[in-house]
Amino acid sequence: MRILVLVLLPLAAAGLAPLLGRYGRNAVALGVALPVMLALGWLLLLAPSAFQGEVIRTGWQWLPAVGLHLTFRLDGLAFLFAGLILAIGLLIILYARYYLSPSDNHGRFFGYLMLFMTAMMGVVLSENVLLMLVFWELTSVSSFLLIAFHHHRHESRSGAITALSVTGGGGLALLAGLLLLGEAAGSFELTDILAAREAIVESPLYPVILVLVLLGAFTKSAQFPFHFWLPHAMAAPTPVSAYLHSATMVKAGIFLMARLHPAIANTELWFYLVTPTGLATLVFGAYTAMFKHDLKGLLAYSTVSHLGLITLLLGLSTPLAVVAGVFHLLNHATFKASLFMAAGIIDHEAGTRDMRRLAGLWKAMPHTAALAMVAAAAMAGVPLLNGFLSKEMFFAEALEGRLFGWIEPLLAAAAGMFSVAYSLRFIHDVFFHGQAQDLPRQPHEPPRWMKVPVEILAITCVVVGLFPAVVGPLLHVASASVLAAAPPEYSLALWHGFNLPLLMSVVALAGGAALYFWLQRKFRLHAHIPSRRSAKRLFDRLAIVATRAASWATARLDNGSLQRSLALMLGTALIVAAAPFADSQLKLAPPPTPVDGVSVVALAALLAAVLGSVVWRHDHLRSAIFVGVSGLIVSLAFLRFSAPDLALTQLSVEVVSIILLLLALKRLPERSPRESTAPRLVRDAVLSGFVGFGVGLLAFTVMIQPLSSISAFFLAQSVPGGGGANVVNVILVDFRGFDTFGEIIVLAIAAVGVLAIAGALADKTEAPPRAERPLEGESLILTVAARVILPLALLVAVYLFLRGHNDPGGGFIAGLVTAIALVIQYMASGLAWAERRLRLAPRRITGWGVLIAGAAGVGSLVFGYPFLTSTYGHLHLPVLGDLELASALIFDLGVYLTVVGATLLYLTRLARAPVPPTNHQGAA
């Protein structure tokens, strides 16, 4: 539970944000900051355990059959990432308070941001890899919402779709990879996976596992050639960009590689897949960043480059390379977050991020300039700053030349030079290089508190650079988690003497400065026009091709004809289902059930009713009557085979369905047109004959098999396990309560869909005034009868509800009876009259039903039992005597309310639909 708090607190903030948004940006920023502060404080309380190398685990079993559990872990690596996510997230909240415009929807923005934080905390703290995957996909969805926050802008929508497409595709690959990984390891728990390295690496599935997992990591962390989504995600508000680039989204892929490193890394295949990818990303990102004119574009490609650097170090897999990668990950988070926030300040105060227009801001914004220069110098690897230390460790590892020999340190030095060059361009072009003219706004320093997050991060860059020992314990435990062993001896000292890594740093600094000024003078960087060829354009073209191919296939399979779609579906199902019967031999095992005369008459009536609904399908009223007759006979069949619960349910559903059909008939022509040609009729007749024969054969095959039923278990456990003699109801609200909960959620979702569709139709049509709209018509006899029927029907509903645990009845049947009684009031007295007296809207009734059912399930968790576990007891009352009470009654109440609300919503919304003018030729 100690670890779960770290996930629940940001989630609580996500729920609070929309509620506090109406009270202004100060209220919502403070409201979401407090839970994050509590989470950060709680994490610090767990620091002693993490620094001692302890792995804290907590969780509950959820779906043991598939290995999915709600389990969490906190070790050194998780502590490092959780600290970055919470600490930088807290600074982003403060920064966003001043960055966002008063006209922005602050509640929505901070809600999305906190949801994103929750997802990232779930990723880094999950013990179960399937649970981690759930949070992994939530990061993609929540980042999509954040990138598209300004959805009125085309670039925001395009960037969000691109990010979701690439990372979502990688997520699918990761899903397959983790499933195979769990299969190879024999468990989906990280502890077991990390301990099963030999079984995983020696498995024939290892190459497939590795490729699929790396696809998920590479797409998330924008590794070449999947890098292009990240720069286009810069359409997001700058607080999102700062958070996404420093401590969250793009670091998730790095985290995944680090987390699974002990299990799948340090093999030749790992080396030759990860190392070249990281090196290519490092060089490509550094080169491209140099020629970007947009401040955020430059920083985005610099992030791509630094992510490639960390990936390269993890690919090398040597202990010192892993330590360097973890150290640079920490350093990159601090200087990159501060740089993005500084870029946002410049954009916020000057009105542009285009470096071709910005110049000389040192005079107008000296404080911001100083902070940006510190962060940019850290990114360039200037001595006495944190970036210098981790980059020297990187140069030392590159000198080993394990991949391309001497070419490897050469490329590393070139990437270092470009890093210095684009960092210098960021400083020189914006704060010096002449004087800016015709800026959209007169630049000046931002509000005091808007600079505080940048100041904290810039000071951190200096402190870690001067006193690297302050992060020594954190670096040690995080590296130990990645290596699954004690890290080797390493030094974080400022001075290691004159050596080759120092020489490479000097070359990178001097060469980078010379490269920038040469390009500025000879190449004229401001006049450079980026090439139209890009991975994003290729992606867009592939998306267009895929869309056209899908449209072509859809047009061939679905031309808008319901008959054709049904024919294709049933024909395919018939072919697939016929295959198992090719070699099977039917053997009659149980004796056939004797047939009595009443059953034969009922079966004949059922067949006649079904045939009548088909023959008179063009006559809607007559067809509806035949459908009702068939439903009534099915209800009697349930009674015949001792299923009174099903009979009551079927009968109630039939009544509601008939009312629904009658409401729909008024909005349809009296007779439907004859659209089928003779060939279609022959095709449909032949197909339906084969399908009917196949279904009959399948049913016959099932019925003649040896009887092996689980009913004995439920009959034996119904009373002792669920406290009810009505086995059907106990199954629905206890043994299979989770299924029922899912079904009422589907019912509620369908109700919301009906509400949305009805609202869209109402906007396009002009309905009569509300007071003049009865449900279907006015009848004095029905009006008087309805007033008498209502209390009696409600009494019957209460009776059915209370007896449902031991006798036929229950929440679903009682809900239908109540809905029918209320619908009669609508039919008798009209919508306006009934709605004035029914104080609670149907959609609210539906919502309360789902909430109560969910609360019944959560209640069992509070007492330490699985979700929706029920209990029962006996209460002795003076008059009534011994009364049995089951907690499942609360869940059944939720079912009852959901059914009442959804049914009323369906029927009343249909009644509100406009009646089309009658066309006696059979068209509306």
Q: What is the pLDDT of residues 421-431, one digit of tens each?
A: 999 999 998 99
Residue range 24-39: average pLDDT? 93
Q: Can you give the pLDDT at residue 403? A: 67
Residue 467 has pLDDT above 80, yes or no: yes
End-to-end Cα distance, the chain: 61
Q: How many whole angstroms separate alpha carbon 322 and alpha carbon 315?
A: 9
| H helix or E strand, kind and range, residue 875 | strand 872-877
Q: Can you give the pLDDT at residue 762? A: 56
Lowest mean pLDDT among 125-139, 413-427, 613-627, 767-781: 767-781
Q: Where are the alpha helices (DSSP H) in 731-883?
A: 737-764, 780-803, 811-829, 831-837, 842-862
Q: Can you give the pLDDT at residue 923? A: 35
Residue 614 has pLDDT above 90, yes or no: no
Q: Can you give the pLDDT at residue 761? A: 58
Under the banding of pLDDT at 50, 70 and 90, the label for residue 64 is: confident
Distances (CA, A) of 715 to 9, 640, 694, 722: 44, 20, 33, 11
Residue 588 has pLDDT above 60, yes or no: no
Residue range 400-423: average pLDDT? 83
Q: Can you give the pLDDT at residue 767? A: 47
Q: What angle is formed at CA 810 by the lines to CA 805 and CA 816, rounded to 5 degrees?
A: 175
Lowest mean pLDDT among 38-52, 481-495, 758-772, 885-899: 758-772
Under the banding of pLDDT at 50, 70 and 90, the label for residue 84 is: very high
Residue 461 has pLDDT above 70, yes or no: yes
Q: How many whole angstroms separate alpha carbon 301 and alpha carbon 285?
A: 5
Residue 178 has pLDDT above 60, yes or no: yes
560: left (phi over 0), alpha (psi -120 to 50) or beta: left
Beta strands in 213-344 (DSSP E): none
Q: Can you give the pLDDT at residue 774? A: 47
Longest dimension (CA), the chain: 105
- Read off the pLDDT of residues 98-123 as tens digits, 9 standing for 90 and up: 999 888 899 999 999 999 999 999 99
Q: How many whole angstroms separate alpha carbon 306 and alpha carbon 423?
A: 13
Under the banding of pLDDT at 50, 70 and 90, the label for residue 887 is: confident
Q: Can you give the pLDDT at residue 759? A: 66
Q: How many whole angstroms separate alpha carbon 177 and alpha carbon 216?
A: 9
Is there a contact between 130 and 68 (Cβ–Cβ < 8 Å)? yes
Q: Can you give the pLDDT at residue 644? A: 85
- Measured in degrees and rounded to the nearest 5, phi and psi for residue 223 equal -80, 150
Cis peptide bond upstream of 590, omega within 30: no
| H helix or E strand, kind and range, residue 332 | helix 319-350
Whose structure tokens read 């029962």?
Answer: 872
Q: 3-class DSSP state for residue 72?
A: strand
Q: How many whole angstroms separate alpha carbon 566 and alpha carbon 573?
A: 10
What does pLDDT average to over the chain?
Answer: 85
| H helix or E strand, kind and range, residue 876 | strand 872-877
Under the banding of pLDDT at 50, 70 and 90, the label for residue 708 is: confident
pTM for the structure as a whole: 0.75
Q: How many whole angstroms separate alpha carbon 182 and alpha carbon 164?
A: 26
Residue range 692-709: average pLDDT? 78
Under the banding of pLDDT at 50, 70 and 90, the label for residue 809 is: confident
- Read off the pLDDT of residues 308-320 as tens digits, 9 standing for 90 and up: 999 999 998 889 9
223: left (phi over 0), alpha (psi -120 to 50) or beta: beta
Amino acid at 343: A
Q: How many whole angstroms separate alpha carbon 622 and alpha carbon 614?
A: 10
Q: How many whole angstroms separate alpha carbon 484 and alpha carbon 480?
A: 6
Is there a contact between 892 and 809 (Cβ–Cβ < 8 Å)? no
Q: How many whole angstroms separate alpha carbon 635 and alpha carbon 649?
A: 8
Residue range 707-716: average pLDDT? 80
Under the banding of pLDDT at 50, 70 and 90, the label for residue 773 is: very low
Is there a contact between 244 and 304 (Cβ–Cβ < 8 Å)? no
Q: Can you give the pLDDT at residue 771? A: 43
Under the banding of pLDDT at 50, 70 and 90, the label for residue 127 is: very high
| Percentage of the chain lying above the pLDDT 90 cut | 38
Under the banding of pLDDT at 50, 70 and 90, the label for residue 576 is: confident
Q: What is the DSSP letter of 594?
A: P
Q: How many whole angstroms separate alpha carbon 846 and alpha carbon 852?
A: 10
Residue range 500-528: average pLDDT? 84
Under the banding of pLDDT at 50, 70 and 90, the label for residue 649 is: confident
Residue range 704-725: average pLDDT? 80
CA 70 to chain CA centroid, Å, is 17
For the beta carbon of residue 522, count every other beta carbon within 10 angstroms. Answer: 8
Say which residue, 402 or 603, is predicted with more confidence.
603
Q: How many whole angstroms separate alpha carbon 720 and alpha carbon 718?
A: 6
Is there a contact between 345 and 407 (Cβ–Cβ < 8 Å)? no
Under the banding of pLDDT at 50, 70 and 90, the label for residue 772 is: very low
Return the exposure string of 305-336: e unless at least 16 CB atoms fall within 10 Å of the residue's CB, then b: bbbbbbbbbbbbbebbbbbbbbbbbbbbbbbb
Query: In terms of Cα–Cα distance, which of 254, 306, 321, 309 is closest to 278?
Result: 309
Q: Can you give the pLDDT at residue 679? A: 81
Q: Can you give the pLDDT at residue 764? A: 52
Residue range 223-227: average pLDDT? 90
Under the banding of pLDDT at 50, 70 and 90, the label for residue 262 is: very high
Q: What is the DSSP letter of 529?
A: -
Residue 924 has pLDDT above 70, yes or no: no
> Directed axis angle between helix 25-45 and helix 106-125, to 10°?
10
Residue range 283-292: average pLDDT? 90
Say which residue, 590 or 328, is predicted with more confidence.
328
Q: Can you give the pLDDT at residue 371? A: 94
For the beta carbon of residue 745, count every other beta carbon within 10 angstroms. Answer: 14
Q: How many whole angstroms separate alpha carbon 860 and alpha carbon 81?
A: 33
Residues in contact with 749: Cβ distance below 8 Å, sequence separation at least 6, in sequence order: none
Under the banding of pLDDT at 50, 70 and 90, the label for residue 148 is: very high
Q: How many whole angstroms separate alpha carbon 694 and alpha carbon 671?
A: 32
CB-neighbour burial class of residue 399 (10 A; exposed 0-12, middle 13-18, buried 19+): middle
Q: What angle is formed at CA 333 by the lines to CA 277 and CA 321, rounded to 5 degrees?
A: 45
Say which residue, 783 or 454, is predicted with more confidence.
454
Residue 218 has pLDDT above 90, yes or no: yes
Whose structure tokens read 């989470």?
Answer: 39
